[in-house]
Structure formats: C-alpha cells, structure tokens
C-alpha cells in the first residue's frame, strides 16, 4: 500500500499515539504518503465539546505538529494534514468557517452520528437497525454532504448497519453509490472495520459499488500506531475488493 490518508491521533480522545509514532509506523511498513485525518472539532452551540472528537482549542496545535513533522520527515515520507468530518447540517457552515483559519488540506467525510450528537432524534448508524427510515436518512444526509462540499473521499460508506429487507438495502445504497460517482468521490474500504470485526466492510455494499463503477480507496483509519502495521488487515481489504469484482485499477493509492 502506497498511501494512507486516514489516520487519527490521541487528540480525538478515543485513539492512542502521538503524530510522530504514526509517522514512524507508516515509514516502517513502507508508506510513501501519510495523511492525518483526526476527528474534526465542531462549532456546537453553548460551547458544548464532544468527548470523542478533537476540541476546538486543540486545532492549532494539531496542525502545527503535523506541519512540523512534514518538514522533519521530508524525503522519508510525504505528510499531509487533513480532518475527518461529520456532516451536521445545522453546524456545518460555522464549522467550515472555523476550520478556514487552519492549513487543512483535505476533509474526509465520515458520518458516524445522525443528525448530530446533541439533538433529539440523533442515532449512531453503526448500531444494527431494520428501520428503513434510518437507512434512508443516512443515505440522504451523506448524499447532501457530498453534493454540498468537496471531500477527498467518503469513509466507510457502508457504516449504516441495515438488517432489514435486502431490496431496501440495494435501493438506498445503490442511490448512495450513484451520488458518490456523480460527485466523483471515491468510497473507502475501511481497514479499522476489518481489524475490529465490525459490520463493515459489508460485501452487499461492495458488490453494488462494483456494479455502479465507483472509484475505491483503501483507508487504514488507524486509531493506534500498531494498527498502521497490520498488513494482514490490508490484504483482507484487497480480497474484499477482488471478491466484489472491483478491479485493481479502480482502487486508488495502491501503487
């Protein structure tokens, strides 16, 4: 694997390891490009701070640290500074305005929480559900985000853990794949999901993405430096792509 743009750090409060430890691990396994994409801070009302995201006040230090490592490791590995962000329609504009003051090179869209974590009606798409309204809400929200903002790619598109009717799964996820393709946005086979045996990557989704001709990226989604070294999980991601019928030339960043 040549490039990984999906890595977290201790700053999001649910990952471990300093930026330097991730850089050292990435060099050790032979990456040429390492992108940091820790969980973005959000401009919530009333000064609310999420307990599992970077705090707003940590943002300056995060970018300063990554950019200084970029200089230090120049010639050994190419380092990029980005963020993984949720699409919270109510706070998106304010959050982007806040981030505009920082040298953020890219945003990865990762929708772990619907509609946002402080509002009634919010839910976690990763929890199993047979409620088609949740699947619909997830696909519509992610689609709106892709059409509204330019992202590097869509992380774990298959996160919504739908246990209901296969026809509904096909209908809504096919819609998501078509929107991603129309927006020219790659979809990610997520290695963290493989390494921690989550419901994603979901073969049902990857068969649809293969049929729809989506561009694909493999993302480590490292939450520890050790996870960066998990070559076995990376090979499984390639096997999933192959089983789904996704040809290697449609997978970005592998050579």
Positions touching Zn ion (CB under 5 A) are 84, 221
Nearer to Zn ion, 10 or 162 (CB): 10
* C-beta of residue 175 within 8 angstroms of C-beta of residue 138: no
Nearer to Zn ion, 158 or 221 (CB): 221
**Min. distance of Cβ 217 from Zn ion in angstroms?**
13
**Least distance in angstroms from the C-beta of 12 to Zn ion:** 6
Measured from the CB atom, is 127 or 247 closer to Zn ion?
127
Residue with tokens 């999980």: 233
* Neighbour count for residue 243 (Cβ, 10 Å): 12
What does residue 184 show for φ and ψ, rounded to 5 degrees? Answer: 55, 40
Are residues 168 and 204 in contact, defined by beta-carbon separation less than 8 angstroms?
A: no
- For the CB of residue 24, give the shortest distance to Zn ion in the complex, in Å: 20
Q: Minimum distance between the CB of residue 4 and Zn ion, rounded to whole angstroms? A: 11
Query: What is the closest distance, in whole angstroms, from the C-beta atom of residue 134 to Zn ion in the complex?
Result: 21
Which residues, 6+ apart, have CB-to-CB distance to 152 below 8 Å? 5, 82, 106, 107, 108
CB closer to Zn ion out of 44 and 82: 82
Closest chain position to Zn ion (CB): 221
- Which residue in the block uniquely carries the two structure tokens 């959050």? 95
Closest to Zn ion by CB, 202 vs 221, is 221
Give the SS3 label for residue 239. Answer: helix
The helix (run of H) or strand (run of E) holding residue 97 is helix 92-99
């Amino acid at each position: 694997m040549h490039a990984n743009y999906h890595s977290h750090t201790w700053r999001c409060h649910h990952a471990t390891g300093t930026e330097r430890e991730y850089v050292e691990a990435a060099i050790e396994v032979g990456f040429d490009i390492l992108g940091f994409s820790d969980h973005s801070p959000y401009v919530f009302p009333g000064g609310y701070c999420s307990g599992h995201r970077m705090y707003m006040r940590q943002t300056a230090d995060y970018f300063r640290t990554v950019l200084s490592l970029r200089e230090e490791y120049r010639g050994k590995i190419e380092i990029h500074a980005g963020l993984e962000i949720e699409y919270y329609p109510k706070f998106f504009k304010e959050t982007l305005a806040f981030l505009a003051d920082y040298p953020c090179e890219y945003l990865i869209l990762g929708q772990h929480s619907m509609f946002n974590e402080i509002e009634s009606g919010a839910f976690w798409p990763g929890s199993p559900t047979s409620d088609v309204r949740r699947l619909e809400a997830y696909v519509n929200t992610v689609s709106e985000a892709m059409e509204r903002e330019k992202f590097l790619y869509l992380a774990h598109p298959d996160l919504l853990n739908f246990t209901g009717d296969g026809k509904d799964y096909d209908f809504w996820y096919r819609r998501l794949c078509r929107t991603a393709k129309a927006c020219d946005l790659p979809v990610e086979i997520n290695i963290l999901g493989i390494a921690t045996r989550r419901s994603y990557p979901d073969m049902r989704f990857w068969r649809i993405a293969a049929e729809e001709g989506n561009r694909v990226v493999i993302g480590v989604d490292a939450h520890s430096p050790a996870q960066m070294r998990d070559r076995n999980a990376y090979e499984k991601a390639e096997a999933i792509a192959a089983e789904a019928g996704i040809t290697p030339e449609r997978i970005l960043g592998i050579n």
